Amino acid sequence: MKFFWLTAFCGLSAGVILSPAFPLTSIVLLLLLFRKKSLALFSIFFFLGSLLATIHALNGTYEIVGYATIERSNYVIATNVEFFSNGEWRSIFHNVKLYSKETRAGETFYAFGKINFHFAYPPLTMSPNFVAGTQYGNRGFEKIRSKLFKFKQRVVEFFQDNAPDFSELFSTLVFSDPSFDASQAEKVRKSGLAHLFAVSGLHVGIVYVLFDVFISLFSHSLFVRRPLSVLFTLMFAAMTGPSPSALRAALMLAVWNFFKLIDYPIEPLNVLGFVATLNLLFEPYILLSPSFLMSYSAATTLVAAQDWLKNHKGIIANFLVSLFAFLGVAPFLLLFSTMNVLAPLISVPAVLLATPLLWASVLIMFLLTVNLYGAAAILVRGATPLAWAMQKLIDLLSHSLNMPGSFLAYLLSSALLLLLLWHFGQSPKNFTS
């Protein structure tokens, strides 16, 4: 089957969305199992998605232990969580949002309080009566991630010391940290450039290319360059949490390079479906994350348009990539925020500014790794004019034409209705057939 994993992802997604009506939908699934192979595959993954979504829908007061991966101003998102029940510790399948200002990313924590289940991401939330965290209890992969988080904090502090006026811009651009204050965050949102400050395919691709070029100075073998470049890119993505968009891009790179190395023909939409399926198998409710939805929507739009994009080069190609990515996320911008009508056009120069800033930041991380602090300080000061230009672009765009999502949704739906009326008016047979 050509689109096996894409069909699997669609089945999992439908199963998660309709999981509240799981007993009823299971009857319909039985009717589809004996039809086409694609419907049978869809039904199997639909059942699996519904089943995974209904596991550990906890409500009540519990003791929990877990590992904090993503840190925000007043909460952390925890994975590998266990809860104490009936005299033993049991694993929780889902991620947990822990409302705590004391807990830091990279810490293993203990918390006691009431867990509530919501049909959202993360599905489980806790406002603890007591919480305590430490990095000394980390083991295995968690220990590696904690070291990466420590190094990330070291880079953030370096930006604060050596580029104090633009430290928030550097930190948010590189790691997606919510470092902006309320005023600056509002400017970024209104500018239409918020996607540049959420680590996604653009960031991961730029970082991967830089690693690939650097490693090529020491080895021209693809079997050395590509695995090492992917490994370092995965480490970079891990420092962001990883966020759903960074994880998607890094995993796609890993899968893509694996099949290229073994010279196996691949279908891009199927690769995208495979990576998305992996995401949902680990946490079904990530489907309800705006970051996940916008990341995969933009990637799907670009993959679907890739044959047409190949016919264009240079600045036109860059503009079209920006335009299609914008169209991919536009439906969600209509739901979640306002929309800057100049965003598709201005994204091209904004990306041209963001690219050298990202390269400089990755080189700074390398220099800090080998303790060349002075060289890193010179480099960040050299990148300061680009950061200044990016800030001025944000300031300028934040005052340009913004439209509420609901108003644009009204315009688009009205235009679609008029188009349909015109179409059926020109072709009456289509209306009656």
Q: What is the DSSP string of 158-203?
A: HHHHH-TTTHHHHHHHHH----S-HHHHHHHHHHT-GGGGS--HHH
What is the rounded radius of gyration, in angstroms, for the C-alpha atoms of the chain?
23
Q: What is the pLDDT of residue 83?
A: 93
Domain extent for 269? 147-409
- In tens, the pLDDT along 112-127 reads 999 999 998 999 999 9
Q: What is the 3-state secondary structure (H, E, C) of 40-64?
A: HHHHHHHHHHHHHHHCCCCCEEEEE
pLDDT digits (tens, 9 = 90+) for 158-202: 999 999 989 888 988 888 776 677 778 778 877 777 777 877 777
Q: Taking residues 386-392, report their average pLDDT.
A: 91
Q: Is residue 433 scored above 50 in pLDDT?
A: no
Q: Are residues 258 and 117 in the same domain?
A: no
Q: How confident is the model at residue 216 (pLDDT cuts 50, 70, 90)?
A: confident
Average pLDDT, the chain: 82
Min mean pLDDT across 40-54, 69-83, 134-148, 311-325 is at 311-325
Per the model's pLDDT, the better-predicted residue between 137 and 346 turns out to be 346
Q: Which of 103, 138, 173 represents a domain boundary (last residue)?
A: 138
In 3D space, the residue among 155, 302, 164 whose CA is nearest the CA of residue 240 turns out to be 155
Residues 49 and 198 in one domain: no
Q: For residue 419, is it within any domain?
A: no
Which pLDDT band holds residue 407 (cuts at 50, 70, 90)? low
Residues 300 and 151 in one domain: yes
Q: 78, 111, 138 — which closes off a domain? A: 138
Q: Are residues 83 and 168 in the same domain?
A: no
- For the beta carbon of residue 276, count every other beta carbon within 10 angstroms: 28
Instruction: Please indicate whether residue 358 or residue 332 has the higher confidence score (pLDDT).
Output: 358
CA angle 205–365–218, rounded 5-degree value: 70
- Asked, for residue 431, whether it belongs to a domain, the answer is no
324-344: pLDDT as tens digits: 777 777 777 666 666 666 766
Residues in Cβ contact with 288 at an 8 Å cutoff, skipping those fewer than 6 apart: 16, 119, 120, 121
Q: Which residue has the higher pLDDT, 234 or 56?
A: 234
User: Given a cut of 50, is residue 99 above it in pLDDT?
Assistant: yes
| 417 inside domain | no
Model pLDDT, residue 377: 93
What is the predicted pLDDT for the residue at 337?
60
Same domain, 94 and 40: no
> In this structure, are 74 and 167 located in the same domain?
no
Average pLDDT over residues 341-370: 84
Q: What is the mean pLDDT of residues 115-144?
A: 87
Greatest CA span in the chain, whole angstroms?
75
What is the pLDDT, as a whole number, of residue 277?
Answer: 93
| pLDDT confidence band for 348 (50 / 70 / 90) | confident
Tell me if 427 is assigned to some domain: no
> pTM of the predicted model, to two decimals?
0.81
Is residue 148 classed as helix, strand or coil in its secondary structure?
A: helix
Predicted local distance difference test score (pLDDT) of residue 367: 92
- Rounded (10°) angle between helices 268-282 and 244-261: 130
Q: Are residues 118 and 156 in the same domain?
A: no
Same domain flag for 85 and 34: no
Q: Are residues 86 and 168 in the same domain?
A: no
Q: Which of 406, 369, 361 is nearest to 387 (CA)?
A: 361
Q: Output the pLDDT for position 105.
A: 86
Residues 115, 158 within the same domain:
no
Q: What is the mean predicted confidence (pLDDT) over 63-90? A: 90
- Domains contained in the chain, number: 3
Q: Tell me if 372 sits within 8 A of 378, measured CB to CB.
A: no
The whole-number pLDDT of residue 412 equals 55
182 and 256, same domain (yes or no): yes
The CATH number that applies at residue 120 is 2.40.50
> Residue 383 pLDDT > 80, yes or no?
yes
Residue 418 included in any domain: no
- What pLDDT is recorded for position 130? 93
How far apart (Å, rounded) are the C-alpha atoms in residues 216 and 225? 6
Whether 294 is covered by a domain: the verdict is yes
The answer to the question of residue 258 being in a domain is yes
Residue-wise pLDDT for 246-295, tens only, equals 888 888 889 888 888 888 888 888 888 999 999 999 899 999 888 888 88
Residue 427 has pLDDT above 60, yes or no: no
Residues 151 and 281 grouped into a single domain? yes
Could you tell me if residue 307 is inside a domain?
yes
